Amino acid sequence: MEFFLQQTVNGLTLGSVYALLALGYSMVYGVLKFLNFAHGEVYMFGAFAGYGVLTVLGGPTGLIVPVWLALTLMFVGAMVVSSGVGVALERFAYRPLRNASRLAPLISAIGASFFLQAAALLLFTANSRSYEAPQLIPIENGLSIGPVDVWAVRVMVIVVTVVLMILLTWWVKSSKAGKAVRAVSFDAEAAAMMGIDVNRVVLVTFLIGSALAGVGGVMVGLVFGRIFHFMGFIAGLKAFTAAVVGGIGSIPGAMLGGLLIGFAEAYTTAYISSTFQNLIVFGLLIVFLLIRPSGVLGRPELVKV
């Protein structure tokens, strides 16, 4: 039971990160109807930005500011860098292809993803880095839920994710910009005719999606340790899986999908085999895609003739 609870917390943490990433895929897909394949790289740059801020502040052992401030600055730094990368992607890799075939943006995205990986390799070398978060916040600090002790960092990850989700849902539902995003994802052409600046909406979507990915990157660095130039690829695939499982284009769907994938991965690692963790997650996705391509919360689209 204790072990199971521990894995549940594990899955919840992992799922939070996937959910944050999945949101980026889902939002961009909603607005532009294409898959931002390079989103995983945005997240990777966020993780490195967080590391950079940490290093500038003196590293995990020699912090020159209080821990809470350091963490805040790391998140902010990651959000800024990730949004920068995301917006640059939109402006230079995707915007020129707005009216091209469906194949073009995807290939461009693959190229951009590849380019960003190589750039990270040049900038950060192939060595992996570690936040060494236990030195920031000792592993003993945390909450006790029944028989399980939950590390404060994990609690923070889950809480921050929940808060961000609530904020985002509110923003999309109620704010003027959020309504514009929904209008564009419903029908970009009609929205443009109603005076909505589609380019602006797309930019905002990338900005928010990328910032969330940056937060996710720092979280992974804090909880799971190693960050490296290739980390975005597999995480991106899984987050995309999460977005699809939840129903692409749907914000609650992305959250739900993220959690599902997180749990699936945590339990697979714990009860079956860590070697086949990826194999099983991908296998699940393939089966899922075949049975219900529109996802748990998505609606199947009608063929328009």
Partner 1 sequence: MSNIGVDRWVAESSEHGPKGKGWTAPARSLLDRVPSGWKLLGFLVVAAVYPFLVPQAGVRIGITALLLAMLAIGLNTVVGWAGLLDLGYIAFYGFGAYFYGAVSSDQIGVQWPTWVAIPVIVLASAVLGALLSLPSRRLVGDYLAIMTLFFAQVFLEVIVNYERLPGVDTNLTGGPNGIIGVQPWQLFGFPFDTFNRNYFLLLVLLGLVIVLLRNIDQSRTGRAWRALREDTLAAAHMTTPVNRLKMLAFAVGAAVAGLTGTVLGPVQVGVFPNNFQLLFLITIYAALILGGLGSIPGAVLGAIAVAFTPEILRNPGIAGWLFYIGVVVLLVTVLRRWRMVAAVLAGVVVLGYLVRFLSLAIWDETILGAANDTFLSGILDGWLLILGPASDVVSNYAFVLALAGVLAVTVARGWRRGALLVPTIYLAILVWENKLSLQDSVTRQLLFGAVLVVMMAVRPEGILGTRRVEIT
Partner 2 sequence: MSTPILEIKDLSKSFGGLKVIQGLDLSVAPGEVLSVIGPNGAGKTTLFNIISGIYPPDSGEILLDGTSIVGSSPEQIAGLGIARTFQTLRVFLNMTVRENVMAATYGATKARMWQSALRTPKARREERETRELAEAKLSFFGERLVGYRWDQPAYSLSYANRRRLEIARAMATNPRLLMLDEPAAGMNPVETLEITALIGRLRDEAGFSILVIEHDMHVVEGVSDRVVALDHGVKIAEGTYEKVAEDRAVIEAYLGYGAAGRK
Q: Which residues form the interface with partner 1 (CB under 8 A)?
A: 34-35, 88, 91-93, 96-97, 99-108, 110-119, 121-123, 233, 237, 240, 244, 273, 275-276, 278-279, 282-283, 285-286, 289-290, 293, 303, 305
DSSP state of 148: E
Residue nearer to partner 1 on the CB measure, 156 or 244: 244
Binding residues for partner 2, rule CB under 8 A, total: 3
Residue nearer to partner 2 on the CB measure, 290 or 305: 305
CB of 134 to partner 1, least distance (A): 28
237 binds, among partner 1, partner 2, none (CB under 5 to 8 A by kind): partner 1
From its phi and psi, is residue 100 left (phi > 0), alpha (psi between -120 and 50) or beta?
A: beta
Q: CA 109 → CA 1, 39, 228, distances in Å?
A: 44, 9, 20
58 binds, among partner 2, partner 1, none (CB under 5 to 8 A by kind): none
Q: CA 124 → CA 15, 84, 127, 228, 236, distances in Å?
A: 27, 18, 7, 8, 20
What is the C-alpha separation between 50 and 53, in angstroms, rounded?
Answer: 5
CB of 305 to partner 2, least distance (A): 6
CB of 61 to partner 1, least distance (A): 21
CB of 120 to partner 1, least distance (A): 10
From its phi and psi, is residue 225 left (phi > 0), alpha (psi between -120 and 50) or beta?
A: left
What is the C-alpha separation between 118 and 299, in angstroms, rounded?
Answer: 38
163 binds, among partner 1, partner 2, none (CB under 5 to 8 A by kind): none
User: 266 to 305, contacts with partner 2 by CB under 8 A?
Assistant: 302-303, 305
What is the C-alpha separation between 13 and 223, in angstroms, rounded?
Answer: 8
CB of 259 to partner 2, least distance (A): 30
Residue type for 266, please? A
DSSP 271-283: II-STTHHHHHHH
Residue nearer to partner 2 on the CB measure, 1 or 302: 302
Residue nearer to partner 1 on the CB measure, 154 or 229: 229
Q: How far is CA 26 from the centre of its chain?
A: 10
Angle at 44 between CA 38 and CA 47, to 5 degrees: 150
What is the C-alpha separation between 166 and 163, in angstroms, rounded?
Answer: 5
Residue nearer to partner 1 on the CB measure, 113 or 161: 113
Residue nearer to partner 1 on the CB measure, 104 or 192: 104
11 binds, among partner 2, partner 1, none (CB under 5 to 8 A by kind): none
Please give the residue ranges that form the binding site for partner 2 (CB under 8 A).
302-303, 305
